[in-house]
Amino acid sequence: MVDRKLKIANKNFKSRLIVGTGKYRNFRECSNAIKVSGADIVTVAVRRVNISDKNKARLMDYIDPKKITYLPNTAGCFNAEDAIRTLRLAREIGGWKLVKLEVLGDKKNLFPEMIETLRSTELLTKEGFKVMVYCNDDPLMAKRLENAGAVAIMPLAAPIGSGLGIQNKVNIKIIRQQTKLPLIIDAGIGQASDASIAMELGCDGVLINTAIAKAKNPIQMAEAMKLAVISGRKSFLSGRIKPNLFGSASTTNKGII
């Protein structure tokens, strides 16, 4: 199989790793980690990260939005109204229409509130936004989001920031089989092997923030995640051998001495 570039809303990206910009010790560390990661897209929490006040340190001073695609997200929103208002603000500030929708159900588990998420997707799509949607790993709801006009499905691997890795591979496989949209694992990645597994399941990419930003060495972890995504993608495209409960000799018995 010949690989293609990651394509979201008719735009091509070289890297299949999307990196968040929160939780770093400072903007410089964030910038260095993103540079090493090779990411073409970074998520920006519009409600938390300064991107407009020129009198304070701005993310834009360290990460050039002309060179890397900013993906405004609605982190911290718990209803459709707040999420929609936040993304309208992002559109006013930077003209961004490719956005990441995240509507949470509670402050403890940070699971997506899917009824509000679906409603927000429908309304934002009608307004011309290209909506990449953070969601649970329910194949039925993923299909509804696709039908509502989402441009990418982004199921969680595990709760945000937990680092538990992919907890439900079966559902991720089902979502992969039923959608032609980009499928990007969002939330719960903890280490490089988790990113590889996501790619080996056929996902188109992974979004990682905490696992890089909170690592003891964020720069080195950013590189590890970059290589893991590349490795997992190559493994998926190569076509794995069929699993077998029993051993199989590496060589045939033909011509054996």
Q: Is 50 helix (H, G, I), strand (E, B) or coil?
A: coil
Residue in the block written with tokens 């990651």: 6
Neighbouring residues of 142: CB distance < 8 A, sequence distance ≥ 6: 135, 153, 155, 175, 178, 179
Residue 254 annotated as catalytic:
no
| Of residues 212, 227, 204, the one with CA closest to residue 16 | 204
**Of residues 22, 10, 11, 39, the one with CA closest to residue 205:** 39
Side-chain-facing half-sphere of 225: CA atoms under 13 Å: 33
Rounded to the nearest 10 degrees, the angle between the axes of helix 80-94 and helix 114-126 is: 40
Rounded to 5°, the CA angle 201-226-164 comes to 55
Report how far residue 240's alpha carbon sits from residue 154's, in angstroms, rounded to the nearest whole number: 24
Would residue 202 be called left, alpha or beta, if left means φ above 0 and alpha means ψ between -120 and 50 degrees?
A: left
Here the tokens at position 30 are 């964030």
Which residue has 């050039």 as its token pair?
Answer: 64
Active-site position among 100, 126, 216, 242: 100
The terminus-to-terminus CA distance of the chain in angstroms comes to 38
User: Which residues share a beta bridge with 185?
Assistant: 206
By annotation, the residues acting in catalysis are: 100
